Amino acid sequence: MITTLILTIAFFLTVILMLVSLLLFVKAKLSPAGKLKITINGEQTLEVDGGSTLLTTLGNSGVFLPSACGGGGTCVQCKCQVNVGGGSILPTETPHFSRKEVADNWRLGCQVKVKEDMDIQVPEEVFGIKKWECEVVSNYNVASFIKEFVVRLPEGETLDFEAGGYIQVDVPSVTVDYKDIDITAHPEQHADPNTFQSEWDKFGLWDLKMVNDEPIVRAYSMANHPAEGNIVMLNIRIATPPWDRARNGWMQVNPGICSSFVFAQKPGDKVTISGPYGEFFIKETDAEMVYIGGGAGMAPMRSHLFHLF
């Protein structure tokens, strides 16, 4: 009996060791060994480690492609031309490009894996994008579920942008308990600092919790305009789970990751942002312009209007 048990255990251990050895062998064959080279616009060459996406690899080397969806393959803003390396275009990419664009080697940086030396073309404005660790100046509620989030760039740094641009916020692995969120109303707009307390009580937001297991980025339009100095102002609406009418409560899904992270920030905290990005700029025209917006969507409108007037 004991002999049979020992033989069985030995057999399973042998099988496990063989499988592990096979996996390590396959990984060694498929994963690039040593440093790889990425040539950008025929001018700059980076030495990088392989295995990550092109978007992440470039970002780690200080070249920041825009990615409003945080690398999910939906915003199409991280597109670039991959002339050498990168393999064949993926099914997740083809819906976003015309046949001509595919023939011209356009790819999504968030979908391309760096496994070999590459030669790529990126827009020149990408080289003007920077990343900073900023300090939170204020984070007041301006509506029941909207924050006016203001951060200051490091001393001596400036953000050269056009009104209507956006930045990206880096969110680390983090857990946010909503009971710890401060929803003090903006003192310049509300006499009572507890203006929004009753609505949060009514909908039971204090019981929510956001859990983020891996670093991500999210994009937000800037509400500040270029003349406001070295601050960045965002209007961010909290993204709650869908409402479950049957249970008369929130569905058991994760609340918005970045909005929860921002809502939890307090003056003096550090937040990493990158920018500037964007295309929603003021068009030079003598024609009458009509601006339509609402809620957190007023952020780029404010930037435009304050810049104009």
The CB density around residue 268, as the number of other CB atoms within 10 Å, is 8
Answer for the pair 147, 256: CB distance below 8 angstroms, yes or no: no
Per-residue model confidence as pLDDT tens digits over 131-186 = 999 999 999 999 999 999 999 999 999 999 999 999 999 999 999 999 999 999 99
pLDDT at residue 54, as a whole number: 96
Q: Check whether the bond before 241 is cis (ω within 30° of 0).
A: no
pLDDT at residue 34, as a whole number: 76
- Token representation of residue 119: 């030669």
**Among 65, 102, 81, which residue's Cα sits nearest to residue 217?**
65
The CB density around residue 74, as the number of other CB atoms within 10 Å, is 14
b (16+ CB within 10 A) / e for 80-94? bbbeebbeebeeebe
pLDDT at residue 31, as a whole number: 57
Residue 197 makes CB contacts below 8 A (sequence gap 6+) with 183
Place of tokens 């921002």: 262
Q: Which domains does the chain have, with CATH numbers?
A: 36-126 (3.10.20.30), 129-308 (2.40.30.10)
- Token representation of residue 207: 């019981």
- Enumerate residue ranges in the chain where pLDDT < 70: 1, 25-33
Per-residue model confidence as pLDDT tens digits over 88-118 = 999 999 999 999 999 999 999 999 999 999 9
Element (H, E) at 166: strand 166-171
Residue 91 makes CB contacts below 8 A (sequence gap 6+) with none
pLDDT at residue 11, as a whole number: 78
Cβ burial, residue 164 (10 Å; 0-12/13-18/19+): buried
